[in-house]
Amino acid sequence: MVDDFASLTVDHYAQEAARTDQRKGPGTVGFTMLGLFGETGSLLAEAKKKQRDAASYLGYAPAVTEEIGDVLWYLAAIARRHRLSLSDIAAAARRPDVEFVAGNNAALTLHELQPAHMPQSREPTPAFEHSLLALAGEVGLLARKVEGSNSTRHRAEVATHLVAIMRCLINAANDSGVTLEIAAFKNLQKIFDRWPRKRDYPPPFDDGKDAEEQLP
Model confidence pLDDT, tens digit, residues 73-105: 999 999 998 899 999 999 999 887 767 777 888
CATH architecture for residues 5-195: Orthogonal Bundle (1.10)
**Which of 205 and 89 is assigned the larger pLDDT?**
89
Amino acid 72: pLDDT: 97
**At 34, which amino acid appears?**
L
Amino acid 6: pLDDT: 55
Average pLDDT over residues 34-46: 95
pLDDT at 161 exceeding the cut of 90 = yes
Round to whole Å and give the CA distance between 21 and 6. Answer: 24
Return all residues near 13 (Cβ < 8 A) that are at least 6 apart.
Answer: 72, 76, 86, 110, 184, 188
pLDDT at 54 exceeding the cut of 80 = yes
pLDDT at 47 exceeding the cut of 50 = yes
Return all residues near 53 (Cβ < 8 A) that are at least 6 apart.
Answer: none
Amino acid 209: pLDDT: 86
Amino acid 153: pLDDT: 57
Average pLDDT over residues 148-163: 74
Return all residues near 137 (Cβ < 8 A) that are at least 6 apart.
Answer: none
Average pLDDT over residues 170-182: 94
Read off the pTM.
0.84
pLDDT at 30 exceeding the cut of 80 = yes
pLDDT at 27 exceeding the cut of 70 = yes
Q: What Å distances lie between residue 144 and 121, 137, 158, CA to CA?
A: 33, 11, 10
Rg of the chain, C-alpha, whole Å = 19
Amino acid 20: pLDDT: 87
Round to whole Å and give the CA distance between 63 and 57. Answer: 11
Q: Name the 3-class secondary structure at 78.
A: helix
Amino acid 169: pLDDT: 97
Query: In the predicted model, what is the mean pLDDT of the chain?
Result: 87
**At 57, which amino acid appears?**
Y
Q: Which of 102, 75, 99, 96 is nearest to 18 (CA)?
A: 75
Amino acid 150: pLDDT: 46
Out of 37-41, 201-205, 211-215, which region has the weakest mean confidence (pLDDT)? 201-205
| Sign (positive or negative) of CA dihedral 73, 74, 75, 76 | positive
Out of 65-79, 172-186, 194-208, which region has the weakest mean confidence (pLDDT)? 194-208
